[in-house]
């Protein structure tokens, strides 16, 4: 009888323990809403990144497929409710969106899930506590990739502070097999062009019906110089990051992130801070000097038939683009002509067009310049000057 009672009690205790364990496991793997903080980004080894710079409260939904062991086998990102915070450039916002999704995946992978299909939502929230300090991987990356690549990029990016983000995929032993560039974030930039852009003429040809005749229309267009410079810098950061990423292949992931526990994929920040870089630079020089340059354009314009016909006077601002080989091309021409020279707006427009054509013709015939340099290497630069008729 006593033996029977002992058996019943032991069975009840075992059932209670198993039920409790099952409930605890179910609570763990069926968690659907997971809170994450915008200032604490898991899975990204960085010193600069703080999503609070880009986003307000946001959410990322996903479908999760887990194996029998509870580990994630597949993630499919669904609805994304991402709220922009502040006024950032489009390139940085696009990269930050991708990284927010990658961070959401890192959170999902760190959990154990119910075998089969599940759904979850990562709720990204801001908080106003002390920002968690992340590992600074700059010295580790520099030792692996080589100092020359970083220094070369800094010289080309003078006046900018940028970060590139690389996803490193590993095998089961933690050895990096391939890398993938996600995007770049531009933290701050200086010495960009302050002009809104140049205005020129775009020749558009079109045909009418089945006839072979066509007309040429001159339409105004604008080139945003600041945007062009940002795109140039973005290309430099991308190329440098991809080169550095190739250097990671074959290395153990922990040797890059500095985290011994890290064995799976990781997102690594490559920060290139060129805000305080000092580089020897020279401006392009015209043969004979600035005075000779102005005289060349003044003499050419005075011989122009339209300028002579209407006795045109006034100030003309010319902006030239000097290429690496010393050739000059017209970037912008703006003329301030007194109304006394023209009886109508049509004539004024016609005179300005002829001045632009004459300046372009003269620029094509002028001798080659000594190009500007940056750190001893020829560099494409612009030159602006005024002449008076």
**Is pLDDT of 383 > 70?**
yes
**pLDDT score recorded for residue 191:** 41
Local confidence band at 10 (pLDDT 50, 70, 90 cut-offs): very low
| Dist. CA 311–CA 86, nearest whole Å | 53
Return the axis-axis angle of helices 225-248 and 147-156, rounded to nearest 10°.
Answer: 180
Q: Do 281-388 and 30-131 fall under one CATH topology?
A: yes
**Is pLDDT of 333 > 50?**
yes
Pairing of strands 116-125, 176-189: unpaired
Express each pLDDT in 38-56 by its tens digit: 776 666 666 667 777 788 8
Q: Confirm if 364 and 342 have CB atoms less than 8 A apart.
A: no
Local confidence band at 129 (pLDDT 50, 70, 90 cut-offs): low
The answer to which of 15-24, 131-140, 238-247, 252-261 has the lowest mean pLDDT is 15-24
280: which DSSP letter? -
**pLDDT score recorded for residue 75:** 92
- 197 SS3 class: coil
| Dist. CA 183–CA 242, nearest whole Å | 10
Q: Closest Cα partner for 69 from 111, 99, 105? A: 111
Domain ranges of the chain: 30-131, 135-207+215-279, 281-388
| Dist. CA 230–CA 265, nearest whole Å | 30
Return the CATH class of domain 30-131.
Answer: alpha beta
Give the distance from CA 88 to its chain's centroid. 11
For the chain, the average pLDDT equals 75
Strand (E) or helix (H) holding 322: strand 315-322
Classified by CATH at the fold level, domain 281-388 comes out as TolA/TonB C-terminal domain (3.30.2420)
Q: Closest Cα partner for 41 from 232, 268, 204? A: 268
| Dist. CA 101–CA 105, nearest whole Å | 6
* Highest mean pLDDT pick, 54-58, 223-227, 368-372: 368-372
């Amino acid at each position: 009888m006593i033996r029977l009672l002992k058996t019943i009690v032991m069975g009840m205790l075992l059932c209670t323990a198993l039920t409790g364990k099952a409930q605890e496991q179910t609570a763990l793997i069926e968690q659907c809403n997971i809170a994450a903080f915008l200032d604490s980004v898991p899975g990204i080894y960085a010193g600069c990144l703080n999503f609070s710079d880009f986003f307000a409260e946001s959410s990322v939904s996903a479908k999760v497929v887990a194996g029998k062991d509870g580990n994630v086998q597949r993630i499919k990102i669904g609805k994304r409710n991402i709220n922009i915070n502040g006024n950032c450039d489009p390139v940085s916002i696009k990269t930050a969106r991708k990284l927010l999704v990658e961070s959401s995946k890192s959170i999902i992978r760190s959990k154990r899930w119910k075998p089969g299909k599940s759904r979850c939502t990562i709720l990204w929230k801001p908080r106003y506590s002390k920002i968690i300090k992340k590992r600074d991987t700059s010295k580790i990356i520099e030792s692996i990739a080589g100092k020359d690549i970083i220094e070369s990029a800094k010289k080309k990016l003078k006046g900018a502070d940028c970060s590139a983000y690389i996803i490193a995929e590993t095998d089961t032993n933690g050895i990096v097999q391939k890398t993938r560039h996600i995007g770049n974030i531009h933290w701050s930039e200086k010495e960009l062009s302050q002009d809104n852009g140049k205005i020129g003429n775009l020749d558009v040809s079109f045909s009418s019906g089945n006839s072979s005749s066509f007309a040429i229309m001159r339409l105004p267009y604008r080139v945003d110089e600041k945007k062009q410079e940002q795109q140039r810098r973005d290309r430099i950061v991308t190329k440098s990051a991809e080169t550095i990423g190739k250097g990671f292949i074959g290395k153990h992931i922990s040797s890059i992130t500095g985290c011994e526990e890290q064995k799976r994929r990781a997102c690594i920040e490559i920060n290139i801070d060129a805000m305080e870089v000092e580089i020897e630079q020279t401006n392009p020089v015209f043969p004979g000097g600035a005075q000779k340059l102005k005289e060349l354009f003044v003499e050419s314009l005075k011989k122009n038939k339209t300028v002579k016909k209407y006795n045109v006077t006034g100030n003309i601002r010319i902006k030239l683009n000097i290429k690496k080989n010393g050739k000059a091309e017209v970037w912008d021409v703006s003329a301030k002509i007194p109304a006394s020279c023209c009886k109508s707006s049509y004539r004024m427009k016609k005179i300005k067009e002829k001045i632009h054509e004459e300046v372009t013709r003269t620029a094509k015939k002028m001798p080659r310049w000594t190009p500007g340099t940056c750190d001893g290497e020829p560099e494409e630069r612009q030159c602006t000057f005024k002449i008076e008729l």
